[in-house]
Amino acid sequence: MFTLLIATFNEPRTLKRILLRLLSEKLKEDCKILVVAPDKNSEKVVSLFPGVYFLKDKGKGKPAALNFALPYTSGDILVLTDGDVLPAKGSVQRLVSALRENADLGAVTGRPVPVNSRESFWGFTAHFLTNAAHKLRKERSAKNRYLECSGYLYACRRALFPKIPDDILAEDSFVSQEIYRKGYRIGYVPQSLVFVKFPTNFSDWIAQKRRSTGGYIQEYIKSKAPKSRPKTLYALKTRTMRGFWSEIFEGIRLFFAYPKNLKEVFFILILYLARLYLWLDIFWHLKIQKHSDIWQRIESTK
């Protein structure tokens, strides 16, 4: 038996869609589906599905919601996803099977795939960045190097799931690092697809990336703090998947391989400028102003 935990907030349409998909699948073992959310709309949707459990959290963010829900989970494997995405058929079972078949794996991650059209700038941006993450995870997995799970869809051994600090911006990065620190590898199952709608305007894109990319900076800063984890060899090895310089090197490589036409070359150049602005924005918020509470709801992804 394993538990599938869905964290969501006021996303009834997409939550209903994901529950219909998951309940239509024939899994190899019993699965407890648990939805944690602070709103009544989510509770109403869950009430339509007998056998799906609902937990009402206090609306203090995803880390707090996951911490609250963990004692109610069952089985030895925990699969985590969000209420505004859609795992492809068979994706959940592939993650569970990967953990069942490989005792040295502590967690495994799926592959996010944008539903946005590549023809638009923001759609191209989503395809370009998820493709870069896919290539990086695939290469690191082949070399047994550290890689980070995607919060859109991943699974881990329930006993290894850590208590998450409430102010963590990228909880998937934190969970990955903590599991790796305990001596387990992080695996990648690219066949486990999860379809995601990415932001369609600049303000939503910045707000989302502050959270995901900023989580890397936040963890890096905390690793230097005198009273936090020491900056060990583990820290040096794990803090290289998301970072300014890793983006530079990966971006240069993909610049010549990814674009299909001149329009996409132009899109990449604009994206580089946007990413530079993003890193400056993150540095300002987290390093200078020391704002850890930069979470915002991203409306264009719903």
Residue pair 66/171 in contact by the 8 Å Cβ criterion:
yes
pLDDT tens column, 211-246: 666 555 555 444 443 333 333 333 334 444 555 445
pLDDT tens column, 70-91: 999 999 999 999 999 999 999 9
Q: What is the mean pLDDT of residues 253-265?
A: 78
Q: What Å distances lie between residue 209 and 2, 56, 242, 254, CA to CA?
A: 31, 27, 12, 20
Residue 67: CA count within 13 A, CB half-sphere: 15
Better pLDDT: 134 or 169: 134
Of 97, 93, 94, 132, the closest CA to residue 112 belongs to 132
Q: What Å distances lie between residue 38 and 15, 44, 59, 152, 208, CA to CA?
A: 14, 12, 5, 19, 20
| pLDDT greater than 70 at residue 207 | yes
Sheet containing 85-87: order of strands: 53-56, 31-37, 2-7, 77-82, 153-157, 105-114, 185-196, 85-87
Domain 2-293 part of CATH 3.40.190.290: no
Residue 244 CA to residue 247 CA, distance in Å, equals 5
Average pLDDT, the chain: 84
| pLDDT greater than 70 at residue 160 | yes
Lowest mean pLDDT among 21-25, 89-93, 185-189, 235-239: 235-239
Lowest mean pLDDT among 40-49, 181-190, 236-245: 236-245
Q: Name the pTM for this structure.
A: 0.82
N- to C-terminal Cα separation, the chain? 31
Residue 107 CA to residue 238 CA, distance in Å, equals 15
Q: What Å distances lie between residue 46 and 83, 148, 196, 229, 273, CA to CA?
A: 11, 30, 21, 40, 42
Burial tier of 239 (Cβ tally within 10 Å: 0-12, 13-18, 19+): buried
- Give the pLDDT band (50/70/90) at residue 275: confident
Residue spans of the domains in the chain: they are: 2-293
Better pLDDT: 210 or 110: 110
Do the bridges between strand 185-196 and strand 85-87 make them parallel or antiparallel, or are there none, so unpaired?
antiparallel
Looking at residue 111, its pLDDT comes to 98
Looking at residue 250, its pLDDT comes to 58
Question: What is the residue whose two structure tokens read 């870069």?
Answer: 132
Looking at residue 290, its pLDDT comes to 53
Residue pair 106/157 in contact by the 8 Å Cβ criterion:
yes
- Give the pLDDT band (50/70/90) at residue 176: very high
Residue pair 79/6 in contact by the 8 Å Cβ criterion:
no
Residues 6+ apart with CB under 8 A from 280: none
54: number of Cβ within 10 Å: 17
